[in-house]
Structure 1
Amino acid sequence: MILNFQQIFLLFFFGAIGSVKDQSAGCDSLYYFKNKVEVTFLKYNAKGDKTGKDIGNIEEISESNGILKSTYHLTKLDINNKVIEKSAADISCDRTGLKIGFQIPGELTENSKNMFYSYPSNMVVGQSLEGNLSFNVKSIIKGKKTDIFFSISNRKVVAEEKTKVPFGIFDTFKIQYDLQVKFKFLGLSIPMNLKIYEWYCPKLGIIKTEGYNKDGKLEETSVLYSIVTK
């Protein structure tokens, strides 16, 4: 009845070698604005076992007044390639940076809001980032009415790292934030506190995500596997 860590992790992530400090490549170098491409992330549990994959498709790319926009359609698959859910996020980018829309899957919520994570073009280590969110969602989980409280806080850049994923090796910024999820149903309140890390390449986009539980134990990893032209 209550979502486990993997399901919560899936709600939040759509999760060339270059210098992080050279951010002049522009918005059109990001995979979020590549026409007719398919972006695949592989998912692993704490033991390193593959648990599924995310497949992203970019549609509705447009540009107006120096702002690039697109819609990132995401399909989440389990280890047997069975569709878990589908969702979409609005993406925008201009000279100030990238914004990735936050969206909870439509089948779970009655009142999702349009919010976003920010990835500024002038990113530096130690910088606090936009994307602190706090909101409630009324959902139906296995036929039971459930209130879910989400709180995302303390988003900040903590390091510059050269990061290896199946797609290649990239210079990235490592971003961390706190995620609190609290379920309320049948008079009970069940909290879940998570620490999330993202590795963001300014010339490509997010290439890796990790989620840790309140005890600091790794729960799941998502890594960029491929970007192919359809």
Structure 2
Amino acid sequence: MNMKVVFAALLSMFAVAGAMAQDCTFFFPQSEGTVLVRKGYDAKGNLQTIMTYKVDEVETIPSGQQVEADYVFTNAAGTVINKGDIEAYCQNGEFFMDMKQSLSYPGVVSEMNTDVDITDNFVNYPNTFTPDFNSDNVYMDDASVKIYDKKNRKNRRDISIYDREYMTNETITTPAGTFECAKVKYKMDTRSPKSKEKITGYGYEWYAPNVGLVRTEQYNDNNALQSYTVLEEIK
């Protein structure tokens, strides 16, 4: 094959990859050193959990961009329940975020106020802010994660998040600022092998470009608010 043709083909491939990377809207901070603080509350507004993230690595990959942030998850008293890293990335024009975010939902670890860990899983977050966005063409991933006591894996919460659907775009104000957000509804089941109890309900997420989750709310099947999280600080 003519070398000029090969070279032109390679340039075309790199151009396509670059275009995909640029077209992807990132729903997480992309600047190293950025710190976010999300706090979780019960239905009465009592502080339950605190999750602090710090972006420590930003990398451009052929299919888009990847960000890694260290996080520390504590209870209201400041006791560390879990710490590690969370990932977010763009791949071929679509954004994905680590489901370790679900750790910050109050109630998820209410029976496990101890050192826990969580299995990895990623779900997509569509860009609803483009002029040609069509909600009929959106597919949103389901997710299944396990949160378990490091010292006793039988003390575990199995969480299923499914039937995720885009609702609308809304303006949300928190102590961290005012954000234009996409609102997503989802159904959620949690099981505890220890108590053999299954809890069903639903929730909402509001997420903003270059920020991520700004607010979440969790409800039971009787439409009663159970808990919520708020982005309190970004710096």
The TM-score range, normalised by the shorter chain, is 0.7 to 0.9
1:34 corresponding residue in structure 2? 31
Letter in 1 for 2:231: L
1:169-220 residue CA offsets vs partner (Å, 9 max, x unmatched)? 22211101111112224xx621011212100113432211111122221121
Answer yes or no: is the 8 Å Cα contact 1:119–1:129 preserved in 2: no
Answer yes or no: is the 8 Å Cα contact 2:24–2:64 preserved in 1: no
- d(CA) in 2 for partners of 1:100, 1:86: 17
1:9 corresponding residue in structure 2? none
1:76 corresponding residue in structure 2? 73
2:110 corresponding residue in structure 1? none
1:182 corresponding residue in structure 2? 191
Q: Provide structure 2 residue ranges, at least 5 long, that are not aligned to the other structure.
A: 1-21, 104-114
Letter in 2 for 1:207: V
Answer yes or no: is the 8 Å Cα contact 1:128–1:154 preserved in 2: no
- d(CA) in 2 for partners of 1:200, 1:120: 10
- d(CA) in 1 for partners of 2:168, 2:32: 31
1:131 corresponding residue in structure 2? 141
Q: Percent identity?
A: 19
**Structure with bigger gyration radius:** 2
1:115 corresponding residue in structure 2? 121
Q: Following superposition of structure 1 onto structure 2, how do residues 162-181 of structure 1 map, counting pairs within 5 Å?
A: 162-181=171-190
1:158 corresponding residue in structure 2? 167
> In structure 1, the residue corresponding to 2:196 is in which secondary structure?
strand
Answer yes or no: is the 8 Å Cα contact 1:124–1:157 preserved in 2: no
- d(CA) in 1 for partners of 2:74, 2:214: 18
- The answer to whether structure 1 residue 208 and structure 2 residue 212 are counterparts is no
Higher helix share: 2
Q: Following superposition of structure 1 onto structure 2, how do residues 48-59 of structure 1 map, counting pairs within 5 Å?
A: 48-59=45-56
Higher strand share: 1
Question: Structure 1 residues 62-71 or 88-97, which shifts more?
Answer: 88-97
Shift of 1:48: 1.8
Answer yes or no: is the 8 Å Cα contact 1:27–1:94 preserved in 2: no
1:67 corresponding residue in structure 2? 64
Aligned length: 198
2:230 corresponding residue in structure 1? 223
> In structure 1, the residue corresponding to 2:85 is in which secondary structure?
strand
1:193 to 173, 194, 200: 200
RCO comparison, higher one (Cα < 8 Å, 6+): 1
Letter in 1 for 2:218: G
Q: Compared with structure 1, are the counterparts of its residues 127 and 149 closer, same or farther at alpha carbon in structure 2 (3 Å cutoff)?
A: farther
Give the TM-score normalised by the residue count of structure 1: 0.72
- d(CA) in 1 for partners of 2:155, 2:75: 24
- d(CA) in 2 for partners of 1:64, 1:139: 32
Question: Structure 1 residues 126-135 or 58-67, which shifts more?
Answer: 126-135
